[in-house]
Structure 1
Amino acid sequence: MEQLPAKFEVLLRIAAWLCLAFIAMATLSPLGLRPTTGWPPSIERFLAFAVVGGLFAMAYPRYIILAAVVVLGAAALFEVLQVLTPSRHGRVFDAAVKLCGGSFGLIAGWLLVRWIPRR
């Protein structure tokens, strides 16, 4: 498996964790503070977790199982925690969309790292 340059990998790791933190804030904040793009919420959820999944897969290619546990575990955990937030609601369908997006991103990011030519 090809390896990304160390500095780029560090930047990817920072971006992955910041992206996950942003998703946590957007998911668990009161509904009125949730950022929106104007797209349907299911598309936003799928894309958000696809991006974070891709970032984690590229940042931790040698630990892809751990990256999957973090991304997919966060998707499930955030949905469960929404039940505790007064203005939010956790739904199985929303969790499934997030899990699909995260899985797509993890696979795409992992394949991308494998196919990047070493320089």
Structure 2
Amino acid sequence: MIRSFARPFAWLLLAAILFVTVSPIQWRPHTHEPADVERFAAFAVVGLAFVLGYPRHWLLVTCLVVGSAFAFEVAQLLSPSRHAHIEDAIIKAAGGLAGIVAGAAISHFTGQTRD
């Protein structure tokens, strides 16, 4: 049940983050939290959703989430109102890894990796 919800949610969330990342800066949603907290949290949720959706493919999920963090940062070079920083990509990747670890623990303790 969790997988059937987590898979489309993960892909939609990843697409939404890409849109927000490369869209003009004025379109960026504001949560009144520091930008680094927003970056970390967004990718943590993505990592969590992907690993819950694909619990036996954690290595592929890790490559996808961490790779997306860096690729999305590079994609900001295409937008004149955005800027790319390696530090931002590292924070996004760290958030993704935190979400993956949390999701892997949840999957392990709920027995989802044995299906």
Give the distance between the partners of 2:44 and 2:20, measured in 1 at CA.
Answer: 15
Normalising to structure 2: TM-score of the pair? 0.93
Instruction: Indicate the residue corresponding to 2:31 in structure 1.
Output: 37
Give the distance between the partners of 1:69 and 1:36, measured in 2 at CA.
Answer: 28
Number of equivalent positions? 112
Q: 2:73 aligns with which of 79, 87, 102?
A: 79
Instruction: Indicate the residue corresponding to 1:64 in structure 2.
Output: 58
1:45-89 C-alpha deviation (Å, 9 max, x unpaired): 000000000001111011111111111111000000111210000
Instruction: Indicate the residue corresponding to 1:98 in structure 2.
Output: 92
Matches of residues 42-57 of structure 1 in structure 2 within 5 Å?
A: 42-57=36-51
Normalising to structure 1: TM-score of the pair? 0.90
Identity %: 43
* Structure 1: gaps of 5 or more residues: 1-6
**Structure 1 segments of 4 or more deviating over 6 A?**
none
Give the distance between the partners of 2:37 and 2:55, measured in 1 at CA.
Answer: 26
| RMSD across aligned positions (CA) | 1.1
